[in-house]
Amino acid sequence: MPVNPNSQIEVTAFDWVPDFARGYVRDLRPRWACEEIGLDYAEHLISAINRPADHFLFQPWGQVPVLNDGGIRLFESGAILLHLAEKDARLMPRDAQARANTLAWLFAAYNSVEPMLFELGNVDLFAADEEWAKLRRPSLIEFIQGRLGRLNDAIGDKPYLTGEFSVADIAMATVLREAVEAGLIAEQPRLQAYLDRCLARPAFQRAMDAQLNAFSEDAGPPAA
């Protein structure tokens, strides 16, 4: 297992989150990248309820993950994935065009797909009883369906976004998981098959297990 308390690479993650967020916190992304290439990393677990003041020095909004790679610190999961991918051709190909394709899809996951799914999560989870959310949802769903339809067509018969698995697939698959419960992935058969392939990778399950194992009920809020 790449989780190694003595590693010079350290991933900051939460020690507890509510049930609905488990398996979806974004430290899953660098964990998955490390698992794919067998790269050891240590965990630095912090409270999501009382976030330590010094954490805001490295992540202005107090979010996770933060990566410390031998003194080089990064925040934002996309930047962290790119940093880790540069370490191994299995995540970032060395051929110039293949690298360009991988970079384009990495940014597409975060810029062209994730924002709408993030908004849908807000509408469905945090503002479901608000009138504005009920009014917004139909047009938002229509827009997302259009984006996912284009993505479905772009994948075509390829097993992964650029043909070979790369860091772009870690980004895209973790983004797409957020649309599963809304039924939007099942509408696109190629996209569903693509997501199934990504999530069937042993490295994904190891990353998921590592995140879930880090949570402690003792770190959560007191029982009511």
What CATH code is carried by the domain that includes residue 121? 1.20.1050.10
Domain count, the chain: 2
β-pair type (42-46, 9-14):
parallel
Distance CA 93, CA 112 (A): 22
Q: What pLDDT, on a 0 to 100 scale, did the predictor assign at position 224? A: 62
Residue holding tokens 């199934």?
Answer: 196
Q: Is residue 4 in some structural domain?
A: no
Range of weakest confidence among 15-19, 166-170, 172-176, 182-186 = 182-186
- pLDDT tens-digit series, residues 27-73: 999 999 999 999 999 999 999 999 999 999 999 999 999 999 999 99
pTM over 0.85: yes
Mean pLDDT across 145-160: 96
Sheet strands side by side (includes 42-46):
42-46, 9-14, 66-69, 72-75
Single out the residue of 172, 155, 160 nearest to residue 111, CA to CA.
172
Distance CA 113, CA 147 (A): 7
Which domain covers residue 149, as residue numbers? 93-201
Share of the chain above pLDDT 90, in %: 93
What band does 152 get if pLDDT is binned at 50, 70 and 90?
very high
Say how many CA atoms lie within 13 Å of 35 toward its Cβ. 21
- pLDDT tens-digit series, residues 189-204: 999 999 999 999 999 9
Q: Is residue 194 in some structural domain?
A: yes
